[in-house]
C-alpha cells in the first residue's frame, strides 16, 4: 500500500459526459501528479500540482482540468468525454517540488461507452 488513495476504482460513463476523479496523497506529501495509461500503453504525464499551485503540465487536453485543494487532495475533471478517453488514470504523490520519487495510487479505471 503506497498510502495514496484514489476514488472511484471504476467508472463507466457515456460519451459527452463529465466525471471527476479524486486523489488523496500520502500524508505529508505536497506534490500530486496525474497520469493517463491507455490500454497496453505507457504512462502519459498530464499535470503536476505542488501545494495547491500548478507546477508542470504535460499532454493534458483542454477538456481536462485539475486542481489541488488546501487539504492537498486533488481532483481531475474530464469533460465532453470521448471513447478514446477510456483509460486507467493514476495519481501519484511525492514529498516536495524537486522530490521526484513518486508513489502511485491504485488508479481509476474509466470506461467511456
Partner 1 sequence: AQTVTQSQPEMSVQEAETVTLSCTYDTSENNYYLFWYKQPPSRQMILVIRQEAYKQQNATENRFSVNFQKAAKSFSLKISDSQLGDTAMYFCAFVSRGQFYFGTGTSLTVIP
Regarding 52 and contact with partner 1 (CB under 8 A), the answer is: no
Regarding 38 and contact with partner 1 (CB under 8 A), the answer is: no
Q: Bridge partners of 5?
A: 24
Please state, in angstroms and rounded to a whole number, the distance separating the CA atoms of residues 110 and 10.
6
The CA distances from residue 106 to 14, 88, 90, in Å, are 23, 9, 7
DSSP E strand stretches across 58-96: 64-68, 74-78, 87-94
Closest CA to 7 of 93, 91, 102: 91
Among 20, 45, 67, 86, binds partner 1 (CB under 8 A): 45
Q: How far is the CB of 56 from partner 1 (least distance, A)?
A: 3
Among 56, 96, 111, 113, binds partner 1 (CB under 8 A): 56
Max Cα–Cα distance, the chain, nearest Å: 39
Regarding 55 and contact with partner 1 (CB under 8 A), the answer is: yes
Regarding 24 and contact with partner 1 (CB under 8 A), the answer is: no
Residue with smaller CB distance to partner 1, 74 or 102 = 102
- Which residues in this chain contact partner 1 in the complex, by CB under 8 A? 2, 33, 35, 41-45, 48, 55-56, 58, 88, 90, 92, 100-104, 106-107
Amino acid at each position: 500500500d503506497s498510502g495514496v488513495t484514489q476514488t472511484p476504482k471504476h467508472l463507466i460513463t457515456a460519451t459527452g459526459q463529465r466525471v471527476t476523479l479524486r486523489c488523496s496523497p500520502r500524508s505529508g506529501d505536497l506534490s500530486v501528479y496525474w497520469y493517463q495509461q491507455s490500454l497496453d500503453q505507457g504512462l502519459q504525464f498530464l499535470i503536476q500540482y505542488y501545494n495547491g499551485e500548478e507546477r508542470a503540465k504535460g499532454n493534458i487536453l483542454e477538456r481536462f482540468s485539475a486542481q489541488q485543494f488546501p487539504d492537498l487532495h486533488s481532483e481531475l475533471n474530464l469533460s465532453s468525454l470521448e471513447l478514446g478517453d477510456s483509460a486507467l488514470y493514476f495519481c501519484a504523490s511525492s514529498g516536495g517540488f524537486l522530490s521526484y520519487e513518486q508513489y502511485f495510487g491504485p488508479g481509476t479505471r474509466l470506461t467511456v461507452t
